[in-house]
Structure 1
């Protein structure tokens, strides 16, 4: 089929008008793109025959040329029409030529170059033979065959319709059709060419950067993830209001805004969050170019923006981007800016000359009338460099730290309130940067420890140095050395230093030194005073801490006594609060630098023994535990080695362990430490065994004879149970410490440690912690039977009396029927017979201790026993419903009340003898004669007549416990004693019928 059949389409149509070639092209393009196109009015084409609506804000002009075969395209005419379109169509983005003629390559090149100079895009749709047998114009026809037939319904014969239909089908079957149709659609994809498309793309990209920690850090060298879902944004209402005021009044004064503040006050976050909020709530908000100072390499705003557009849209054509910017700037706009540029952190990079030149360009009328500008900078830098430049049309706003309302809101997002924060931290976390660091540490709390002022300062500067690429000469080690040297000068009496002395400490050449010095000053590390510099107090303490660590390292390498060296170094600060701060800083540094354990433990020891340390240490000591658990356990051993207890320090260490219970339960190190502490044995037994005639050597011989081994200090592998032989009595107390901590944790992982403790005490021949072991096992929230059973199985399998004793104790602690059954199979001679056992067996009923259940009946039927004694002995068994009290005993029970003086019951807040008697006999009355007890209680009510003040109050409380057995008579008795408000309140809290009846009576 000849391609000439296509010529039928335009041969049947006039060139212009809605019913002509132009009208058909409108319908075909609308079908192709989904956009809406409009024909230009006759005589007002101005370089286009039709134009688009704003397609997502982009503008397209289309020129249609229907020529006879003999007519040639006129280059001058077409270039002139493009000129007209650029001059009269605001923000034109795409100029399309649709023609029935072949567009020669030279003309195509001329039109493309002209478009490039104008900052627009040119596309052509013609009969060019881009591929064999098929052109873009034919593809445009073939993709909408029905539209063509409907448009030419009255102008085509049936034969012409069939001929065209065959040609269209032939085009669609062409192997290149699909790719050409896609390319044709892409010609109208204006996402890369229009201002409003650029605005949408740029602002979406910016919001995307703000939604990710990684993306914002990569792009801006800092965290600006203000829109991240997991990020809690605290709205800075006062600051936002000031930025709003500047923005909404920008049209009247065209000033730029300088947002100022100290390091960490949240300047960048405030601006970024304000911008993100504006973009999301207002589709008309201009495009925003947010630039970190490190990315502002040029002083020409035209080149800066062209580079941004070129990079963002992958044009790879800087000239086109430059012309596009000129095109945008040359258009008239309203009182709102075409674009908002943010220069973030200008104090961090480049020279004064660089920024002044850029600001002068942006202050030129061609820019300041179209572009709004926000600058963020440290206050000290801005005031020194730019504040006095009156020719700059600027407005300055300072971002303060969090106020009370903002801080309260910030804390509430983490279920905290101001009372949860220590006094040291509270002023610091008003700075958003410190607040974020505090939250960051709380999130990773099990890895790095809790938040302290010293830790916050340390981590703040460590983080600053890591994220600031303008401080390449100053790494973490260099910074520590500078602070250390400045602290040394201070310690030698030089509180202020000259600029030359500071520069001597800084690395790099002159320019690098200037940048570093400026950053240290504007960042608050150094403060100018009378032409000299003084180190910030917080950093000074960190510097002293570094010096102390250095001194300790030297002493360690020379095998000196660390406690003496550290104590001597701290002598000038004895009695001063700063001593504890220096020790804390030294501990922190020693942990971070991973110093030898002896150094870390000695510094911890100096810290907890600082004079006047008190509450300050209590608030921060436990915070560093996760950084180095081993050092804290070694400190515990150092403290407990002392013969005498130090309750304050020991409680402090206990608090450190218990503050991190979630960390301990899965820590192999802590488990092995507690196994070691519970496995301590002294070859001469417990201290209490060495009293009187028994000497340590005698006990040693007894223990060594029992286990068949000579005991020497060190680890003893006793049938797979690691026992530690020690010669320090104080360390034996660490077993109690271990059990106290275990009692706060899931027991299952510590069953082996408890088994080791049982073996250790079996070796020593005494059970010093029996009740503690039993309580720890019994108070477990979940069953520990499986763990106990495995340990017992292993201990019993060893043919050894000591391990079987340990098994017996474990089973006794667990106390279940299963445990009892296994225990009954153990040898009877494991333990020597208790001397009281024989005494009990002689006469259980007269034995001073507790009665056994099997002997109750015998005692109840004895005639020779005191009735009060019987009642007291069977007291624990009265809850047993099967207990039967003989009739003769029941008949005698009322006589017990005769021995109780009612006037002495509850006469004060302390228990009397009569109170104890009543408590002892009440249970047997509940079981055998409750009506007699009721009568006795009723009689006690009568004694209210004789009571007043405390005695009346205490008896009232006692009787109220029994008010359910009162009759109307007893209750009314209460009413005669001053309408007792306490009684009424208690009854009102009861939810039963009888209390309501009494209240109604009242």
Structure 2
């Protein structure tokens, strides 16, 4: 309870302004004035903004209509005043503010890279300013996508901005184009009500209002902009636009991070199916041969071939771990149990993404598996254990599809690294398919590799009995078993 004898500042008088009252209570506690308070009763009638009156609904609609008129007349307003297209500049400015990435505007005339593009070339903008009287030309819009896609190698997201409603027919055509190209095609439209482009404009009004001639605008329009900006529906609309743009832009980066997380766990395990622990791996001379293959043009598929226990999987794992650090590629690792049932490369890609994303995200997986062939510059898929679980049949289906013709959509962007035992004696072995692969033989440890493996265990070559030194310990898998038995029994012999 407050001390009545304590000297207190007087409370603000009844005629004090809200600011004065606020300043007072910012520095004083109600507990010190509790004895001066008394109970009151009052009613509050909170009117939901979700249920507007007819007059308010009409006012909101008129605001969106006015904004649409301003946008559609933008190019006409600036005609003859300066170079460039104001609508294109407006759209680029809005997306820069939304995504916090800069965009480069194209010069007037031929624009093979779109009206604007991001600095990285991952995002292209095509801005079409149509009046209500002018219908969009679907053929022109679809053709623009093809031109931009050909000229921007790193294109991930194509943003089509139209200053009117987009027809269902055009949306259907864009869906087909999205499927055929692998691009994320994001559409932003403008309407007489809350829309993508309208929501962006009111949200960033202070930054873009200079684009418009507001001399003839009703003074109430500025008030409407602030009201529309603060409505929850507007914020949700902007949030949705940002999400669908960012999902496309960050797709490859996100997948790379998710794959790295999976591989980190896969290559640091001493348990489970075919465990690989790279912390125990030594350098192998064959790694340089794999690097030579990687730099060789016209050799998209490499096959590491060796007998059981020669360390094919470990060699492949160690090499891809190093290449991922040097190059901007997406790398997938599939064990034989993961890919043995694949009927096609498309099936294989589903298995790749299904390893890092749960099956209930099937929509996401189906969307992603279009990208390695259509969008991403380079993808490497490791198919481990061709000789296991009848995976050879799936391998030969994949090779046949891959080499079917020189124009295969997979050839430019996807490469494979396979590991297997010698396959010559397998039934139905199709030699002509495997002859197209870059073959690297994986042998037992040489002297230097054996010595390095021993040093990792704190041993020297002379510590091995001659019976192990000659052959057994030179086979990586058997070497590992020898060390396990030595640790268990206390000696090699």
1:168 matches 2:221: no
Contiguous gaps of at least 5 residues in structure 1: 454-615, 617-1002
| Partner-residue secondary structure (3-state), 1:373 | strand
Q: Describe the SS at the equivalent of 1:348.
A: coil
Q: Match for residue 224 of structure 1?
A: 276
Equivalent residue for 1:269? 314
Within the candidate set 446, 461, 486, 1:403 is matched to 446
Which of 62, 71, 81 lines up with 2:144 in the alignment? 81
Q: For 1:60-105, what per-residue CA distance to the aligned partner results, in whole angstroms no more than 9, with x for missing partners?
A: 3322222334444444443443444445544543332222212344
Measure the CA separation in 1 of the matches of 2:310 and 2:186: 51
Contact 1:438–1:451 (Cα < 8 Å) also in 2: no
Kindly state the Cα deviation for residue 29 of structure 1 after the two structures are TM-superposed: 0.7
Specify the alignment match of 1:138 in structure 2.
198
Pick aligned residue for 2:261 from 184, 189, 208 = 208
| Matches for 1:819-898 after TM superposition, within 5 Å | none
Question: What is the Cα deviation at residue 144 of structure 1?
Answer: 1.9
Displacement of 1:23 in angstroms is: 0.7
CA distance in 2, matches of 1:140, 1:405: 64
Match of 2:241 in 1: 184
Contact map agreement 2:336 2:385 (CA 8 A) in 1 = yes
In 2, are the aligned partners of 1:47 and 1:82 still within 8 Å (CA)? no
Of 287, 296, 319, the match for 1:240? 287
Alignment of 1:177-576 (within 5 A): 177-191=234-248, 197-198=251-252, 200-213=253-266, 221-226=273-278, 231-236=279-284, 238-248=285-295, 250-251=296-297, 253-254=298-299, 256-280=301-325, 282-284=326-328, 286-296=329-339, 297-309=341-353, 314=361, 316=363, 324=371, 327-328=374-375, 338-350=378-390, 353-364=393-404, 365=406, 366=408, 367=410, 371-379=414-422, 381-382=423-424, 389=432, 392-422=435-465, 426=469, 427-437=471-481, 449-450=488-489
The separation in 1 between residues aligned to 2:220 and 2:69, in whole angstroms, is: 10
Distance across 2 between alignment mates of 1:395 and 1:83: 34
| Counterpart residue number, 1:121 | 184
Distance across 2 between alignment mates of 1:52 and 1:419: 62
Q: What is the distance in 2 between the residues matched to 1:60 and 1:345?
A: 39
In 2, Cα distance between equivalents of 1:368 and 1:342? 15
Q: Deviations over 1:307-331 (max 9, x none)?
A: 53576564527775665555359xx
Aligned position for 2:92: 26
User: Is the partner of 2:75 in helix, strand or coil?
Assistant: coil
State the Cα distance separating 1:18 from its structure 2 match.
Answer: 3.9
Change (3 A) 1:348 1:391: closer
Instruction: Answer yes or no: is the 8 Å Cα contact 1:268–1:376 preserved in 2.
Output: yes
Task: Tell whether the 8 Å contact from 1:62 to 1:98 is kept in structure 2 after alignment.
Answer: yes
CA distance in 1, matches of 2:124, 2:372: 19
Q: Counterparts of 1:263 and 1:290 in 2: how far apart (Å)?
A: 19
CA apart distance, 1:27: 1.0
Residues 401 and 207 of structure 1: CA distance in aligned 2, closer, same or farther (over 3 Å): farther
Query: 1:608 — aligned with what?
Result: none
Greater length-normalized contact order (CA 8 Å, ≥ 6 residues apart): 2
SS in 2 for 1:43: coil
Describe how 1:961-1000 pairs up with structure 2 within 5 A: none
Mapped contact 2:165–2:190 kept (Cα < 8 A): yes
What residue in structure 1 maps to residue 119 of structure 2?
Answer: 53
What TM-score comes out, normalization by structure 1 length?
0.38
Aligned to 2:275, what secondary structure does the other structure show?
coil
Give CA deviations for 1:841-875 in whole Å, capped at 9, x if unaligned. Answer: xxxxxxxxxxxxxxxxxxxxxxxxxxxxxxxxxxx
Distance 1:351 1:134, change over 3 A: closer
Q: Once the two structures are superposed, what CA deviation does each residue of 1:400-451 show, in whole Å capped at 9, x if it has no partner?
A: 2223332333333343334444555555333222343455678xx6xxx336
SS class of match (1:189):
helix
1:105-151 superposed Cα distances (whole Å, 9 cap, x missing partner): 4543443333223332222222347xxx6322222113322321344
What residue number does 2:166 align with?
Answer: 103
Q: Decide whether aligned partners of structure 1 residues 399 and 76 sit closer, same or farther in structure 2, where only a CA change above 3 A counts.
A: closer
Mapped partners of 2:206, 2:412: distance in 1:
51
1:189 CA displacement: 1.3
Structure 1 residues 113 and 86: alpha-carbon distance in aligned structure 2, compared to 1, 3 A threshold: same
Show structure 2 runs of 5+ residues with no match: 1-58
- How many Å apart are 1:4 and its aligned residue? 3.5
Q: Report if aligned partners of 1:38, 1:50 keep a CA contact under 8 Å in 2.
A: yes
What do residues 665-707 of structure 1 show as CA deviations (whole Å, max 9, x unaligned)?
xxxxxxxxxxxxxxxxxxxxxxxxxxxxxxxxxxxxxxxxxxx
Report the secondary structure of 2:245's partner residue: coil
Residue by residue, what CA displacement relative to the aligned partner does 1:746-798 show, whole Å, maximum 9, x if unpaired?
xxxxxxxxxxxxxxxxxxxxxxxxxxxxxxxxxxxxxxxxxxxxxxxxxxxxx
1:698-750 Cα offsets, whole Å, 9 max, x none, are: xxxxxxxxxxxxxxxxxxxxxxxxxxxxxxxxxxxxxxxxxxxxxxxxxxxxx
TM superposition shift of 1:235: 1.1
Q: CA deviation at 1:360?
A: 2.8
| Cα distance in 1 for residues equivalent to 2:175 and 2:157 | 11
Question: CA separation in 1, counterparts of 2:434 and 2:467?
Answer: 44
- Please state which structure has a larger fraction of its residues in helix: 1
Residue by residue, what CA displacement relative to the aligned partner does 1:508-538 show, whole Å, maximum 9, x if unpaired? xxxxxxxxxxxxxxxxxxxxxxxxxxxxxxx
* Cα shift readout 1:634-686 (whole Å, capped 9, x = no counterpart): xxxxxxxxxxxxxxxxxxxxxxxxxxxxxxxxxxxxxxxxxxxxxxxxxxxxx
SS at match of 2:382: strand
Alignment partners' CA distance in 1, 2:300 and 2:160: 43
Deviation of 1:342 (Å): 2.3
Q: How many equivalent residue pairs?
A: 418
3-state SS, counterpart of residue 387 of structure 2: helix
Contact 2:333 2:382 in 1 (8 A): yes
Tell me the equivalent position of 1:3: 64
Q: 1:62 aligns with which of 125, 128, 149?
A: 125
- Kept in 2: contact 1:3–1:167 (CA 8 A): no
CA-atom RMSD in angstroms = 3.7
Q: Is the 8 A contact 2:126 2:159 kept in 1?
A: yes
Q: Separation in 2 of the partners of 1:303 and 1:80?
A: 30
Give 4+ residue runs of structure 1 displaced > 6 Å after superposition: 214-218
**Range 70-79 or range 96-105, more displaced:** 70-79
Cα 1:390–1:83, aligned 2, differ >3 Å: closer, same or farther? closer
Q: Is the 8 A contact 2:64 2:191 kept in 1?
A: no
- Aligned mates of 2:433, 2:164 — CA distance in 1: 62
Q: CA–CA distance in 1 between the matches of 2:157 and 2:456?
A: 50
Measure how far apart 1:399 and its partner are: 2.0
Q: Deviations over 1:889-931 (max 9, x none)?
A: xxxxxxxxxxxxxxxxxxxxxxxxxxxxxxxxxxxxxxxxxxx
CA contact (8 A) 2:94 2:200 kept: yes
CA distance in 1, matches of 2:183, 2:312: 38
Q: Distance in 2 between matches of 1:209 and 1:241?
A: 25
CA contact (8 A) 1:112 1:121 kept: no
